[in-house]
Amino acid sequence: MDIVFATSNPGKAREARHILGKGLRISRLELDEIQSMYTAEVAKHKAREAYRIIGRPVFVEDTGLHIKSLNGFPGPLVKWALRGMGYEGICRAVGRGRDRGAYAETCVALCDGKRVRSFTARIYGTVPLRPVGSGGFGWDCIFVPNGHKRTFAQMDLQEKSAISMRGRALLRLKGFIGARDKTVRKRIK
């Protein structure tokens, strides 16, 4: 299956190429994002829109940071929360002495023009008292995965991709594409 990854985020493009291969084609589309507390809903909407624009099989992804003591906020609205509050603001909003638990969730949505399939993965962790690290992108500096002492922003691409929610969701997409390609090849023979 010949597909395109539609994203305007160079960090997401870099991570997807690391998982799916350097030959992955990227379409740098700015897509409208519906406002929803469900990453799958946002991703599926973006996948349909990307297919409408590109006219060929395409996948997109959406990621959210769900903080337990904030009742799951900001979730998929994390990009907007960062614009308004910044990294420090989100760390302060959790508050000292409160549960700093969180989970990060990525939904990769593939649209072939007929159907939208989604591949979701989560990773649990905590929000540190303050942002830590300068690598990565997005909110990597405010999430420490369970079992680790460093934020995503303190990890290199290989280490982060091996454990991240985005890496896991992309591997599920890769498995689906590989299985589908094998079925098509069997039918051709």
156 counts as catalytic: no
Report the distance separating Cα 140 and Cα 17, nearest Å.
18
The residue type of 20 is L
Report the distance separating Cα 176 and Cα 40, nearest Å.
17
Rounded (to 5) percent helix, strand, coil in the chain: 45, 20, 35
Tokens (6 digits) for 42: 């946002």
Q: Which of 119, 82, 125, 121 is nearest to 103 (CA)?
A: 125
Tokens (6 digits) for 106: 């990525």
| 162-166 long-range contacts, CB within 8 A, separation 24+ | 163/123, 164/15, 164/104, 164/106, 164/123, 165/63, 165/104, 165/105, 165/106, 165/121, 165/122, 165/123, 166/12, 166/15, 166/16, 166/61, 166/63, 166/106, 166/121
Catalytic residue among 2, 32, 62, 112: 62
Question: Which residues are catalytic, by number?
Answer: 62
